Structure 1
Amino acid sequence: MRLRLPVLLLSAALLAGCASVPAPAGPAASASLQGDAARPAQAQGWVRSELYFGVGREDGPSERSQTDAIGEERWRAFLDTEVTPRFPDGLTVFDAYGQWLFRGAPEPNRLRTKVLVILHEDTPERRADIEAIRLAWKEATGHQSVLWSRQPVEVSF
């Protein structure tokens, strides 16, 4: 009899360990996507435009006069006057380093770069806004180009 009691208690403990915790009564609440016309919950027909602006003094051989470095104050003024009025809903800027090889040059040119990222609807009006920004930069700085890269994206805000 003495042996049976410990065996029964051990068996009861083992069986109790096999019991599972009851599942929650219902699914956990989750956030829902909300949006408006400028920031839809989900949208199609949008693109990610990246614009590459040289802001440092060019370093490398060139037959044209090299531009001076463009300071942070001048860059911010350009954003305020040329970019933000066209894309007031938002944008992103990254500091980067760039280099390229002019045709026939023996070495690449190198300079500090700002990468401007804008997510926008792929419409003729938005593309015209991007072109206006590129032209304004070239006119303001004397730079020959502003690289524009576009790719389709799915967005959700």
Structure 2
Amino acid sequence: MTIKTGLMAAAILMLAGCNAPSHSTADATCKADNQMQQTTLYFGLNRPAGEQITGQEWQQFVDQDVTPRFRDGLTVFDARGQWLGNDGKVAREPSKALMLIHGKDAQSEKNIEALRGVYKSRFAQESVMRVDQPVCVQF
């Protein structure tokens, strides 16, 4: 390949990258009052020792711990999780995914971390996975 051909190929590749959508473009098209944060928390339902966390125990957690912190609403999904434990073994278990749409503020952050801490402590869990992303919300 000649230098001229190589430069042309590089220019084409760079221009092709300019057409790729980006978060900043998507964020720019969302009105400021519609910009929120989506946090999804993943809760395993197996205890390290003993019986599985029951539907009643889960609902008590939602009613007593989640709802008071996120009164505007939430969504819960049944899930099947798989993850690598601290012991190096793959664990598979029934799980719950909790999706929260909220403002990006200190109080929401504090509430989310409190939920993770309560669940880990109450049900002897190694972790509660957290995934965050900006979203554009309209009602």
Residues 1:152 and 2:127 are matched in the alignment:
no
* Structure possessing the higher radius of gyration over alpha carbons: 1
Cα RMSD (Å): 1.9
Q: Which runs of 4+ in 1 moved over 4 A?
A: none
TM-score w.r.t. the length of structure 2 is 0.72
CA contact (8 A) 2:80 2:95 kept: yes
Q: Give the aligned partner of residue 119 of structure 1.
A: 101
2-structure distance, mates of 1:56, 1:145: 12
TM norm structure 1: 0.64
Q: Is the 8 A contact 2:35 2:137 kept in 1?
A: no
Q: Which range is displaced more, 145-154 or 42-51?
A: 42-51
* In structure 1, distance between residues paired with 2:104 and 2:83: 28
Alignment of 1:103-114 (within 5 A): 103=86, 105=88, 107-114=89-96
Shift in CA distance, 135/112, structure 1 to aligned 2, threshold 3 Å: same
Identity of aligned residues (%): 39
1:56 aligns with 2:46: yes
State the 1:42 CA deviation.
7.6
Corresponding residue for residue 58 of structure 2: 75
Give the conservation status (yes or no) of the 8 Å contact 2:34–2:138. Answer: no
Structure 1: gaps (5+ residues): 1-40, 58-64
Matches within 5 A, 1:1-157: 43-56=33-46, 65-103=48-86, 105=88, 107-157=89-139
Unmatched runs of 5 consecutive residues or more in structure 2: 1-30
Aligned length: 109
8 Å contact kept, 1:49–1:151: yes
Structure 1 residue 43, shift from structure 2 partner: 2.8
